[in-house]
Amino acid sequence: MKQTIAQDKSQQLGDLRNHFLIAMPSLNESIFSHTITYICDHSESGAMGLVINQPLDLVMSDIYQQLECGDAHSYNPMTPVLSGGPVQPERGFILHSPEQSWESSLKVSKDIALTASRDIIESIARGEGPAKYLVALGYAGWGAGQLEAEIADNAWLTIPADSSIVFDTPIEHRWSAASKNLGIDLNLISGTAGHA
């Protein structure tokens, strides 16, 4: 019976590409506590997204140095680098405005593209990169049906993404800004689910 309900809910969810996953208080004991995740891809085989509000102790100058593609005068050296999720934390992903494309760019929406190739970092270091971007190491991934099941278990709220939250809202305000788009204060919601 539970499987049928989960399947029904997953069919109702549809494609979550270009949506935010807002962590519910029930995730407060996990690595996803107070996170907002931008979903880059979602299909029957699973989902992939980037957490957009968890800064690492790294800045762009560290990335430039690691990749040997910049120096002390490179563009925006103090821009924070984010933890995009627990999968492949050594791999870089860039969410950016889509006015240009690079070797491995994927246009997710009219406002947001995803690139995971070195050429975009080299362009950013030279000040020739996209107008808006964020850099993350690692990603969040879900297998077939896993994300739908977590949503059915009230782990996440989903809303259509807003590029101004991704690129223009300070990192520490992104979670609350997204929840305000829902018209609620998630800090006032209990971490335990009730059933009538």
Residue 105 forms part of a structural domain? yes
Residue 192 lies inside a defined structural domain of this protein: no
Whether 7 is covered by a domain: the verdict is yes
pTM value is 0.86
The pLDDT value given to residue 135: 97
- Lowest mean pLDDT, pick from 41-45, 175-179, 185-189: 185-189
Alpha-carbon 46 to chain mean position: 15
* Residue 129 placed within a domain: yes
Residue 194 lies in a domain: no
Residue type, 48: M
Distance, first Cα to last Cα, the chain? 17
- Per-residue pLDDT reduced to its tens digit, 37-93: 999 999 999 999 999 999 999 999 999 999 888 776 688 889 999 999 999 999 999
pLDDT band of 30, cuts 50, 70, 90:
confident
Query: Taking 90 as the threshold, does the pLDDT of residue 1 lie above it?
Result: no
Cα 118 from Cα 108, distance rounded (Å): 19
| DSSP letter (8 states) at residue 34 | T
Q: Structure tokens of 145?
A: 């049906």
User: What CATH code is carried by the domain that includes residue 86?
Assistant: 3.40.1740.10
- Nearest 5 degrees, angle CA 33-CA 142-CA 155? 40
Would you put residue 68 in left (φ > 0), alpha (ψ -120 to 50) or beta? left
Domain count, the chain: 1
Is residue 195 a part of any domain in this protein? no
pLDDT 10s digits, 5-19:
343 343 345 699 999
Domain range spanning residue 16? Answer: 2-187
* Domain membership flag for residue 196: no
Share of the chain above pLDDT 70, in %: 85
- What is the overall mean pLDDT for the chain? 86
